[in-house]
Structure 1
């Protein structure tokens, strides 16, 4: 198939949504970091000035991605992945530490977080593996290899330790599900999360009793030919072991700051001037915006600097305070439209590699959006993940841009013609 001129088939709707999100993100970063003295928006001594420079530098990145042959991303997937693992491993020797995490390379005034770019490399290699005609995700060995591709960088990132970045990689299981991974994997994960939360809120004995009743009901409601008492017994024993292990894991395995974040989520033992401060201030800022917001650059919580890290992980609080419920919904709608657009274009691909990679892109972006926003409205423990295209940072903006535009290039390469 000939690599036709990219502008013939480029998805301008995705590019428009990307541009709107980046522009709105910069406006909120500017508001969240507004200096007390008048200065140029290009002043790189200011956060907003640095971010606009990061935005400008995405232009040559986009041009290079769109100009390259789309086949290079499939052919070079293993090389990209190997380089990513080397960068992660190199952090333990050459990385710089910040707040107890060694997840950055620092070169003078420039810093780079490799885990952001490894998401791209992992997506490419996973897509390449799953696109092999001989691969069937109903096969356990093939499942192990696919999970291995995901978990290898996760292990290196957890050793930094950076649990927030590591969690994002699990979103790739959604792409695997699209390509044939049995649904019980997702169901088991969802049940495990629910049980972990419930075991922290109610007595384990009561929870086990409730689960036993549910399993008995499920057993007798199942058709007789499908009933397997041995299987049900094994599952129930495993469930009991899991429920009674939660307290041990919470007490002895999780770090103190992780336990604090879970306690904050459930309102247990919370000091609003200590571990509960960030989330409390974020909720005050979002709630104070009302329906229509206080107006751009008029947020009192924002201007007063009451929300820590507001231009990074907590950038959505600026949207809530200054743009209100209407502005927040607008941002979420734009995000959802971009995700749906990526999925729509992925489903139109003739190439299984392109389709799988498209689902990887959508899954990673979804997980970032989901974790970042739900932690601010107290539906999920606080984790340090940026809001794509909104949060301040060169590494995250460049990585998200590359992640998206590699797929746009694949899509524009006429692999989607019927």
Structure 2
């Protein structure tokens, strides 16, 4: 019996997906190189200098190594068994911000300890993914009833509401990617379509007169009604949908003028090409495009980026770290980094599909969704395809909270995956 158990444990260790670990290590290393370049002072110091950003990142990377060993050593069942506990701790950490949190740039989303910051929303993503996977795996909902739909959405909408109160629109928006996981598990598709259409109508309402949009809505609804092959199509439902869409269009101006903060409106104006001062509201995006574009095909070389060395791009070691890749490594370097991320996403999805039980499979979907959303939003906002928000590039951007939180998220999945040899 002891020998059998020992062999089982050996097989778990030997089945850790080393390709994913290699990609993770490579992304962390390349990220540090870019952080080093983006934060290097005129007089270089030791790479372990904790007074410098790159020195702190070395510390965070060093802390991640024993953390990985611990995560892979813990019994895989532990993560599913205590998913509710992790979730409750995460919610309490978000609530604690309203009492003990530090306000930075109008957002109260950080704890400060001895010069180091901790952003709990980064860790709550993992806790939320664990609980969502546990709920679906154990309850096996079909998501045909409102109760099942409400529970599935409520698991991640509760932390979203707390994060919105900080207020942190960027982090809250990232949680919306879990709708993709719910859809994969049988959630009604109209939820996704509703969100997609709402986003399109919102921007159209800012760009065009309402009358033109209403004509477009009417034409689209009529075409859909005529081409809908269902015999039981209900004209009354089409009428309700049309009225709701029209009401939404006319509510956009109120939301834009009375609900959004000035800096949020500025970011949207920059995105849609409204008349803004590129030296003020559009400065970040403008400098980002200059830095990336100046790299051409092969880049200016490591530590040779003039935009980077001149400090023209704000927050270049965090949210704008990819601009360093574009300037110093060029198009070729960008494609290598993008290729690594895409390979990581598909590898996680492949491993998720190989799981023998629902919990690790669904959790794997959550991990892939979170990582992809961070990557997509971060890169898109640097080239003007998405409003500028505070979303770091996973494993690449500077920050202990980001690196350690994503490390925990990924290696819990790798532990669950390695344990599939013991699942029946």
Tell me if both proteins adopt one fold, taking TM over 0.5 as the criterion: yes
- Give the alignment partner of residue 343 of structure 1, picking from 344, 349, 359: 349
Shift of 1:205: 1.2
- State how far apart, in whole Å, the 2-side matches of 1:200 and 1:238 are: 18
Aligned equivalent of 2:9: 4
Aligned equivalent of 1:314: 320
Shift of 1:239: 0.7
Aligned equivalent of 1:63: 69
- Give the alignment partner of residue 197 of structure 1, picking from 191, 194, 203: 203
Counterparts of residues 68-83 of structure 1 (less than 5 Å): 68-83=74-89
Shift of 1:211: 1.1
Shift of 1:109: 1.7
Distance 1:374 1:87, change over 3 A: same
Distance 1:124 1:417, change over 3 A: closer
- State how far apart, in whole Å, the 1-side matches of 2:225 and 2:172 are: 36
Aligned equivalent of 2:383: 377
- State how far apart, in whole Å, the 2-side matches of 1:231 and 1:109 are: 57
- State how far apart, in whole Å, the 2-side matches of 1:51 and 1:165 are: 21
Where does structure 1 lack aligned partners over 5 or more consecutive residues?
none
Moved more, 1-10 or 71-80: 1-10
Shift of 1:35: 1.1
Give SS of 2:31's match: helix
Shift of 1:138: 2.3
Aligned equivalent of 2:101: 95
Give SS of 2:103's match: strand
- Give the alignment partner of residue 145 of structure 1, picking from 125, 130, 151: 151
- Give the alignment partner of residue 337 of structure 2, picking from 309, 331, 337: 331
Contact 2:325 2:333 survives alignment (8 Å): yes
- State how far apart, in whole Å, the 2-side matches of 1:120 and 1:348 are: 21
Contact 2:177 2:369 survives alignment (8 Å): yes
Distance 1:415 1:81, change over 3 A: farther
- Give the alignment partner of residue 136 of structure 2, picking from 123, 130, 133: 130
Residue correspondences, number = 418
Contact 1:125 1:149 survives alignment (8 Å): yes
Distance 1:267 1:224, change over 3 A: closer
Shift of 1:101: 0.7
Where does structure 2 lack aligned partners over 5 or more consecutive residues?
none
Deviation sequence 1:212-248 (CA, Å, 0-9, x none): 0111111112236133110100100011001111111
Shift of 1:341: 0.3
Aligned equivalent of 2:418: 412
- State how far apart, in whole Å, the 2-side matches of 1:410 and 1:38 are: 42
Give me the TM-score of the superposition, normalised by structure 1. 0.98
Counterparts of residues 168-179 of structure 1 (less than 5 Å): 168-179=174-185
Contact 2:357 2:423 survives alignment (8 Å): no
Give SS of 1:273's match: coil
Contact 1:349 1:416 survives alignment (8 Å): no
Contact 2:291 2:326 survives alignment (8 Å): yes
Contact 1:101 1:160 survives alignment (8 Å): yes
Matched, 1:266 2:252: no
Counterparts of residues 105-254 of structure 1 (less than 5 Å): 105-223=111-229, 225-254=231-260
Shift of 1:132: 1.7
